[in-house]
Amino acid sequence: MIGNPKFIVADEPVSALDVTVRAQVLDLFNRLQQQHGFSCLFISHDLGVVEAVADCIVVMCAGEIVESGQRALYLSNRGMTIDEDSWRRVDGPLEMLSV
């Protein structure tokens, strides 16, 4: 990677990709992150994608943080702030930020 960045912002980097290419890109992203040791703010509306790349999750709604936590703990104990229909939407006001 050029310049050996310490921090990368990835805003919906795989949202327009089909499932097969998405998986390949996420795998590549994870390998690059391990090899180069950079931190990343990964923004997505897709909880499945966030689950694949996140260590920590922050959920925003209308520009406000409404939930946050470590991935494993967070995904097993999601709060009542966001309903299940909102979690299923790919597009909408929710933004899941993984860091």
Coil, helix or strand at residue 6: coil
Decide if 83 is inside a domain: yes
Decide if 27 is inside a domain: yes
Decide if 2 is inside a domain: no
The Cα–Cα gap between 90 and 70 comes to 22
Range of the domain at 37: 7-98
Decide if 52 is inside a domain: yes
Express as a percent the part of the chain with pLDDT over 70. 76
Decide if 33 is inside a domain: yes
Decide if 77 is inside a domain: yes
pLDDT single digits (tens) 26-37: 999 889 889 999
Residue 8 pairs in a beta bridge with 40
Backbone angles phi, psi at 74, to 5 degrees: -65, -50
**0.75 cut: is pTM over it?**
no
DSSP strand pairing (7-11 vs 39-44): parallel
pLDDT single digits (tens) 54-73: 888 888 888 888 888 888 77
As for how many domains the chain has, the answer is 1
CATH number where 43 lies: 3.40.50.300
Backbone angles phi, psi at 91, to 5 degrees: -115, 145
